[in-house]
Structure 1
């Protein structure tokens, strides 16, 4: 922990503008999911909209995670998993240090990286937090799962942290803990944010729990990309689905779970206690989620994961992120007016009566990725995961995505 203390004290100049970050996150106990495996979800909202997946072998444990494409040295990770099945993510919180003027470090990504490199269990992460200097110069929520069935959210402030255990029915009666940009141990009011996103996620989670449909695909397709609004009761998919293609139709777009600033979305699917941690899967939608596609990665595959997820010098970005941002321009189509460009979207570009919207074209390909990957996982859980088989699966997925963007959108990722 000595390195972390030094980092927090001496590397504050790497921090970014803290309060422009907004995320919606959750920890889900395996006791309540469809297949009995814990889940860790993060919708990442940040000005750093160019993202990539990176494999690391620079610590006690090897790990894979989501990294800013401009962070070519991999100094920070924003959600990831390691070879022991330990996974971690974060969201900024704005109501934990009210009245405390201690300057924040902005080093949450460094802490996630350090946690992935050195922790195998949530108990290890608690010891890690215990060794932070006080004040911590942090204000955020950290969600973790491990291969022993652990699933918890930690609210970290300048004085320490408070643990919320997703396995404790007194804390999480339905097995999940949701956070956006506030913490339950903080004050509630204008100083915090994300209540509407959190409430929308809670409504969707509750319905999935009640109908036993709680799995990775549900989160990435029905929550991450949800266009339901818990306050206004709008549902943009429902409200605009019957309008013919090529009919520009604009809608106000604010306080939905996906936002203009949503850079990526990831879910870590953990393992049941006793299963090989190698099966822990990082499902990532790299790039703006409404115009990108979900792909899996495993630590055992090392750096052989799909090239479309890796930073490419041609694009200065991961190719799939580049493609998603190109398509995002059709959704955020207004080019003039500060607020009009920010808050109004052409919903017809995303969905329409003729089923030619951006997400409508992506959806069947993504369904195929989930189908063939889940089939592979079922086989691997019985026979073991061979690197050669894993590499072949990666190559298949990579070609599928390259072909889709070329054939459906005329975007060349080669």
Structure 2
């Protein structure tokens, strides 16, 4: 038993860390149709309950994605501030190899500090230089500012390396993708390699069609069920046919059981207003939640459906998404999380959750773009944004109330 116990703990630790994974990308505005840079984080975590929160505890106010259980808001997992600075991360498992430093898992604390204090990539680089070492960090940080700067930073306990998405030698197609390993790390422990294969494929296809825009990132990338080893796009397959089984193994999809939220942040352009940087928040399992826009100019009065609710101990939107997710993973045993009931998401009858959600989102995209066409020229009053938030809150709440869970 004494020999078995350490092995068990080691295995559990590996399994636990494996769930702390994400698929992320940065896209230069030089390569998007509208000239706006984008950062994308599809978050995988063992914390399924997420909320959006407004903070005014630093130099710059900011909005961040947080674990709902983090009542004090000590960690932020993606967000943007009033200066138009935005940040997100993916965990990296092939750096700090062999380093005995016990300090670790400080990425959320570090991103909170960056949002509190940084207005530019240069500020962020200064923070990296001055932050106490060892940092307790093993991550790829996607960072964007209001001046058009956009890059990935691979960061470990002691050093950092910048990958500039505006540099054609580094990002010839204008985008950089990271899953759960770093290019500056060792060749071992390249976790997320299959997800990265998928991401590289779908990004390349979208770039050829000039479709690297926020809508594509939300609806096609964040709800991707392609498997590169089998060469099968299960979303397309189940939308158009009725395979022998309703279930697929979802472990290596970009969107899988451990996917808990998505954040897509779209920058401003020159002469626009930094606090009108647009945060598209998909709170909850990406295939069962609805994308909603947020801006710093709206202050703390964001839609209630995205904010922490004390009674639910979660955000209401996340609760809706989790209820729908249960029907997508109905196998009730310890191994059931491997098996996604694909017909709950898409089917030839067009009654799948994704098929219900995306028409609503397209309506919201159109309405939001219409408003932004005006607001980016003449900044809106806070009351205008609050009124739009109220509309969005009612629209999305009514959507879930009017669509029962299908089993």
Map of 1:8-407 to 2, 5 A cutoff? 18-189=17-188, 191-243=189-241, 249-336=246-333, 338-339=334-335, 341-407=336-402
- Name the CA distance, whole Å, in 2 between partners of 1:59 and 1:236: 45
- Name the CA distance, whole Å, in 1 between partners of 2:362 and 2:56: 32
C-alpha distance after superposition, 1:128-149 (max 9, x if no partner): 0001223222111111000011
Q: Determine the structure 1 residue equivalent to 2:10.
A: none
Kept in 2, the 8 Å contact 1:142–1:156? The answer is yes
The Cα of 1:20 is off from its aligned counterpart by: 3.3
Kept in 1, the 8 Å contact 2:272–2:377? The answer is no
Kept in 2, the 8 Å contact 1:248–1:348? The answer is no
Partner SS for 1:65: strand
- Name the CA distance, whole Å, in 2 between partners of 1:252 and 1:154: 32
- Range moving further from structure 2, 228-237 or 363-372: 228-237
Kept in 2, the 8 Å contact 1:55–1:64? The answer is yes
Kept in 2, the 8 Å contact 1:216–1:267? The answer is yes
The Cα of 1:242 is off from its aligned counterpart by: 3.7
The Cα of 1:311 is off from its aligned counterpart by: 0.8
C-alpha distance after superposition, 1:243-279 (max 9, x if no partner): 579x971112121101111110011101113321122
Q: Determine the structure 2 residue equivalent to 1:13.
A: none
In the superposition, the TM-score normalised over structure 2's length comes to 0.93
The Cα of 1:76 is off from its aligned counterpart by: 0.7
- Name the CA distance, whole Å, in 2 between partners of 1:278 and 1:253: 38
Q: Determine the structure 1 residue equivalent to 2:6.
A: none
Kept in 2, the 8 Å contact 1:136–1:160? The answer is no
Q: Give structure 1 stretches of 5+ with no counterpart.
A: 1-16
Partner SS for 1:127: helix
- Name the CA distance, whole Å, in 1 between partners of 2:95 and 2:405: 47
C-alpha distance after superposition, 1:351-396 (max 9, x if no partner): 1111111111111111111110111101111222221111111111
Kept in 2, the 8 Å contact 1:350–1:358? The answer is yes
The Cα of 1:203 is off from its aligned counterpart by: 1.1
In the superposition, the TM-score normalised over structure 1's length comes to 0.92
- Name the CA distance, whole Å, in 1 between partners of 2:153 and 2:56: 26
Change (3 A) 1:302 1:383: same
- Name the CA distance, whole Å, in 2 between partners of 1:40 and 1:401: 24
The Cα of 1:406 is off from its aligned counterpart by: 0.5
- Name the CA distance, whole Å, in 1 between partners of 2:240 and 2:29: 38
Kept in 2, the 8 Å contact 1:60–1:118? The answer is yes
Kept in 2, the 8 Å contact 1:122–1:150? The answer is yes
C-alpha distance after superposition, 1:126-180 (max 9, x if no partner): 0000012232221111110000110011000122100111110111111111100
Aligned alpha-carbon RMSD (Å): 1.6
Partner SS for 1:116: helix
Change (3 A) 1:242 1:206: closer
C-alpha distance after superposition, 1:39-70 (max 9, x if no partner): 01000000011000000011000000101000
C-alpha distance after superposition, 1:322-355 (max 9, x if no partner): 000000011001002x33x021111111111111
Partner SS for 2:112: helix
Kept in 2, the 8 Å contact 1:248–1:349? The answer is no
Partner SS for 1:67: strand
- Name the CA distance, whole Å, in 2 between partners of 1:104 and 1:332: 36
- Name the CA distance, whole Å, in 2 between partners of 1:401 and 1:137: 39
